[in-house]
Amino acid sequence: MIEIKNVTKKFDKLTALKEVSATIEEGHVFGLIGTNGAGKSTLMRSICGVYRPDEGEVLVDGEPVYENPAAKAKLFYISDDQYFFPNGTPMDMVRYYQTIYPQFHTERFASLMEILKLDSKRKINTFSKGMRKQLSVMLGISAGTKYLLCDETFDGLDPVIRQAIKRLFIKAIAEHGLTPIIAYQTIRELEDICEHVGLLHAGGILFSKDLDDMKLGMFKLQCVLRSQEQINTIAARFPILKQEQRGMLTTLTLRGEAKDITGLQLELNPVFWELLPLTLEEIFISEMEVKGYDFEKLYQ
């Protein structure tokens, strides 16, 4: 488990992180969402011990990570611009990482390279940006660490490769107990893989929640009602987080049990009634609006 406790990090007058706290459980994919400048990279570097927090601390399995080789050995960090040896090949990088990570799985690396059809003997400086991203992921999965930190790893990858890497993450979690922590700008890209997400804005985590808990008891109701009184009846039974009106169609984001909402349908006998689950982005928007933030302005 990784524990981030009230971490603050400043660079001169700039506060990159402000009293950030979060817990990352083992064996799950943790998604860190935030725009450019939100503090994602600073937080990732603080987690892996590159930066020392000005306040607070980061614990990896109960141990402080900064200047602690034993704790750092459990982490593999893939930065947005991963470093490779000049004129080096993937196998040169394997030999290098074997000196740092004694549990590096060479056979696993070879298998992954074959799956993604990358040449382990080709010079890396001839790889495209997307190919270098793939190589970084292969090295990270093969390193034998408990935690894999990925900073904008999906950036520059085509949709097919992104899905392939997601499947490799899931396989590594199931077979090797890997815990990926993925920092990315958009919510949509992580919805199908993350089990826990944190929203980072202006150096602070606005909230960190389990996706199942976030989705529990929250729905989008699209309906055509017979009168305003029927909307009042719905509002009296269920907390309405958001209401939109387009012509005769009313769209409500509300909390409640599906069976109870469906039961109200039978009572009201509306012209049209459709109950839908919310996407992760819609849940985030609802949570942000409840906290008083304008989500659209937040991500401009």
Assigned architecture for domain 217-298: 2-Layer Sandwich (3.30)
Backbone φ and ψ of 154, nearest 5°: -85, -10
CB 82 within 8 A of CB 136: yes
pLDDT classification of 256: cutoffs 50, 70, 90: confident
| Ramachandran quadrant class, 49 (left: phi over 0; alpha: psi -120 to 50; beta: rest) | left
Direct distance between the N- and C-terminal alpha carbons of the chain, in angstroms, rounded to an integer: 33
- 189 or 129, which is more confident: 129
Residue-range domain boundaries for the chain:
2-211, 217-298
CATH of domain 2-211: 3.40.50.300
Considering the entire predicted model, what is its pTM? 0.78
42 or 82, which is more confident? 42
Mean pLDDT of 72-87: 89
Q: Is the pLDDT of residue 291 over 70?
A: no
Neighbours of 271 (CB within 10 A): 11
Query: What integer best gives the mean pLDDT of the chain?
Result: 86
State pLDDT tens for residues 113-159. 998 889 988 999 999 888 898 999 999 999 999 999 998 888 778 88
CB atoms within 10 A of CB 251: 15
Please give the pLDDT value at position 74. 94
Report residue 274's pLDDT band, with 50, 70 and 90 as the boundaries.
Answer: very high
Task: Give percent of the chain above pLDDT 70.
Answer: 92
When comparing pLDDT for 293 and 146, which is higher?
146
| Least-confidence region, from 35-49, 77-91, 203-217, 218-232 | 203-217
pLDDT of 3 > 50? The answer is yes
* 13-31 mean pLDDT: 89
Of 288 and 13, the one with more pLDDT: 13
The model's confidence at residue 279, banded by pLDDT at 50, 70 and 90, is confident
295 has pLDDT over 70: no
Give yes or no for residue 59 having a pLDDT over 80.
yes
Q: What pLDDT sits at residue 293?
A: 57
pLDDT attached to residue 98 = 94
Radius of gyration, alpha carbons of the chain: 23
Report, as an integer, the average pLDDT of 251-280.
Answer: 89
So what's the pLDDT on residue 217? 75
Both tokens assigned to 128: 């495209």
